[in-house]
Copies of this chain bind each other. A is one copy, B any other.
């Protein structure tokens, strides 16, 4: 792992970590990834650089942790929904999943935008890859099991749908936030999915 660092155990340490993540998010939104620096993050968090390095190996570890937190929240919801919704008709399932995804971005639109635009997807640190990979795995199993899905190459179909839908929502958050305000985009993506699979 990237973490050979101390784990925060006392409460004030957890607060420090929290402040650092929050500061990272703020600076990312305000100044962009290029201007991020450990010194700046520490100052903004009201904490010393030394403390920062107790919990994070470097700048990217911070960004990674932030990314993970954001991505994990969406993925969690979606994975639950996918596994739980075996009984629902396909259309309902797709619709509720994608709405969930859109809502997640709507919670913190500026952060979503900054993450999408500023942060490079930097090789192995990329959490997104891991999260999307997991979702692809789950979805391809679901596709194989449901009887209301026409026969497809499940693995490839899952890759296309997961990556496609995620990207559309991400790009919308980045470039056309107004598209996320209603449910229209989500419903249309669900329609796309449904038409492709049945």
Query: Measuring CB to CB, which residues of chain A are less than 8 angstroms from any residue of chain B?
Result: 32-34, 116-123, 126, 129, 152-153, 156-157, 159-160, 163-168, 171-172, 174-176, 179, 184-185, 188-189, 191-192, 195-196
Q: Chain copies in the assembly?
A: 2
Inter-chain contacts of A163 with B (CB < 8 A)? 167-168, 171-172
Q: Is the CB of B153 within 8 A of A188?
A: yes
Q: Is the CB of A153 within 8 A of B120?
A: no
Bound: A147/B157 CA distance, A = 28
Bound: A168/B170 CA distance, A = 13
Inter-chain contacts of A184 with B (CB < 8 A)? 153, 156
Bound: A188/B150 CA distance, A = 14
Nearest CB in chain B: distance from A109 CB, A: 16
Give the contacting residue for A122; candidates B32, B167, B171; CB below 8 A. Answer: B32
